[in-house]
Amino acid sequence: MVAYPEATYDHITSPTWGIVCLLVGLLGLAVRALTIGCTPGGTSGRNTDEGQVAETLNETGIYSVVRHPLYLGNFLMWLGLFMILGVWWFVALCTLAYWLYYERIMYAEEEFLRRTYSARYEAWASRTPAFVPRLTGWQPALLEFSWRNVMKREYNGLFAMVVSFVLINAISHLLVDKRFYIDPLWQLVLAVGAVIFLVLRTLKKNTQLLEVPGR
């Protein structure tokens, strides 16, 4: 039987390290929230099953400092999960895999915007980094931030991230202690995440409280 690395196990069960990794994931969720909270429907920040949608080009708010904020947010959410194992070559490998996968997607989206908006897109792209934000270029968003829009669209992502952290913790105990156990920190995180998920899902499915015109 292959022994589970003790250092890796220590990282997974360390409450301090767990909080650090969770905060990295929540930072990614915050980047997504900042994007979605100020983004109108049918813009360059939203795609559909039928393909690209770009009735307008987003150039303000978070789009004034980075061209792909949603993918940046996704990366930070994944990064928290990559980090929890405490194996830095694994973090580097997963980061490379993420970049190779999303780089082609970003390229396809930018080609669509280039064809659609031509010179306007080129001007925006020339002053705005693709993935690493340049905060000095910040311009206020045209739309007011909407918490309702964020809650309507992001509760699934929050709960999926929480469940992933909890599963990693539970699996580590199965491998090392040969028992099913979840550390108290992750029990609390799971309970809070489940309550938020159930409340927001109920509101979305059964009410109009989270609906925002034009979002």
**pLDDT score at 54:** 58
**pLDDT score at 8:** 55
Residues 6+ apart with CB under 8 A from 102: 68, 71, 74, 75
Per-residue pLDDT 10s for the chain (215 aa) are: 334 444 456 777 788 999 999 999 999 999 999 999 998 876 654 454 455 555 678 899 999 999 999 999 999 999 999 999 888 999 999 999 999 999 999 998 899 899 989 999 999 999 999 999 998 889 999 889 999 999 999 999 999 999 999 999 999 889 888 889 999 999 999 999 999 999 999 999 999 999 988 77
Tokens 């045209």 belong to which residue? 142
- CA-CA distances (angstroms) from residue 168 to 35, 63, 148, 183? 29, 33, 31, 11
**Tokens found for residue 96:** 């490379």
**pLDDT score at 31:** 97
**Tokens found for residue 111:** 């080609």
CA nearest 84: which of 167, 8, 170? 8
**pLDDT score at 207:** 95
- CA-CA distances (angstroms) from residue 171 to 65, 100, 102? 39, 28, 28
